[in-house]
Structure 1
Amino acid sequence: MKKSIHFSYEAHYSISHESSGNESEIWIVFHGYGQLSEFFIRKFLPFDSGDRLIIAPEGTNYGYLKEFQGRVGANWMTKHERETAISNNHRYLDRLMEEILSKFSNPPKIHVLGFSQGAATATRWASRFPKQIDTMVLWAGGFAHDLHMPESREKFAETRIILVSGDRDPFLSAEVIQKQNDILQSLGKQGEKLWFSGEHEINSELLGKIINLRI
């Protein structure tokens, strides 16, 4: 007989600087499979400023990246107990944002970026988060396939959607592109599709243009 129990759990995240509560915008950046937030956020630190706070939550599932020792990485979920992982992610991310936003007297703009596996987690969480999401960047990843469409369509109605892909990304296929186009159509969105020369990775030059809203 398999049962479940709820208990308090400690999760981790990385932040670009200690928030003053006066930043005008927040970027929440979701890492990909097998990454850790403390290393992932380094790609975004060049764009940190007194007006911009960057937060990198860390997936709560961990494993060795090779065999049974050495480097460890985090992931957002696996197919095992998937629904439980999704619920846990939502509670964790909601609590994290509640803690961060409690410091603000004037609500900041909220931008979300999900890389690879983090893109699906980001969209799934953002689709039900009560605050307005100003920008949603899906980098080398896409919308979760199990979004609740009526709710998500309303939620993302005023959200700028940007999809970023490397022209040599081995995980990108015509089928993957078509599925994302179908989801965009169901959401009533066109989406902005940006390409860079590279593989399954973050391109710093293009990232800077997006974060600084020069695109």
Structure 2
Amino acid sequence: MNLEEKEISYTTTNSYATLNTLSDKTKNVWFVCHGMGYLSRYFLRYFEGLNKDENYIIAPQAQSKYYSTPKFKHVGASWLTKENTATETENVMRNFDAVLAAEALPENINLIVLGYSQGVSVATRFVARRKLSCAQLILHSGSIPKELKPEDFSFLKAKVTMIYGTEDEYLNDERIAYETNRAKELFKEHLHIIPFKGKHVVNVVLINKLV
């Protein structure tokens, strides 16, 4: 058997979701990357408590969708897997580029980038690869990609907040120590670490306090 895996390039279409209206009253634009198993329109529900006039939220959609329950009722999505990660990462980066190009944000906007769970990996890569100038970078209950180095963020002047639940079922003491040390290495004096008592859930109360 002469099996050969080949690669093609083609144009695809994807959705993204927004919450509230971008206007002269807008103070903050959030670029929020959902966790595995979410759809962007449902992930936006966690940001409904923010002031509607002052906050405009953009949620890109992971392109790989799947049925997340045995009865094929609910659909989830994933950003990346260990399969062909480098190419898939570049696809995600181009996805994000297209979303921001479509939104045509004002240059002086207060941009906040948030990644939750699996979304941390794509959010941090996007900021690092595109040298994205943002006011805040929020890393919520997720892992920072191993290939990222301090020099990848040397340009960044943003406030960086790391949030995690002390009862997160995907974390143990060793993992918490590793991830916090990685964040300190990458972001140094810009880093603020906020643990909370809770599991692997989006902490809406903390998010609302970050603006």
Distance 2:33 2:144 in 1: 13
Match of 2:120 in 1: 119
For the Cα contact (< 8 Å) 1:128–1:155, is it kept in 2? Answer: no
Amino acid aligned to 2:162: L
SS at match of 1:2: coil
> Alignment partner for residue 87 of structure 2, among 62, 66, 84?
84
- TM-score using structure 2 length: 0.89
State the Cα distance separating 1:3 from its structure 2 match. Answer: 1.9
The residue correspondences of 1:1-215 to structure 2 (distance < 5 A) are: 1-20=4-23, 23-67=26-70, 69-100=72-103, 102-104=104-106, 106-152=107-153, 154-156=154-156, 158-190=157-189, 191-210=191-210, 212=211
Cα distance change on mapping 1:148 and 1:5 into 2, 3 Å: farther
State the Cα distance separating 1:103 from its structure 2 match. Answer: 4.9
**Bigger CA drift: 89-98 or 123-132?**
123-132
State the Cα distance separating 1:69 from its structure 2 match. Answer: 1.6
Q: Structure 1 regions of 5+ residues with no counterpart?
A: none
Distance 2:105 2:66 in 1: 34
For the Cα contact (< 8 Å) 2:160–2:187, is it kept in 1? Answer: no
For the Cα contact (< 8 Å) 1:20–1:103, is it kept in 2? Answer: no
Amino acid aligned to 2:113: V
For the Cα contact (< 8 Å) 1:14–1:56, is it kept in 2? Answer: yes
- RMSD (CA atoms): 1.9
SS at match of 2:137: strand
**Bigger CA drift: 15-24 or 198-207?**
15-24
Tell me which stretches of 4 or more aligned residues in structure 1 moved more than 4 Å.
none
Amino acid aligned to 2:206: L
Distance 1:64 1:90 in 2: 24
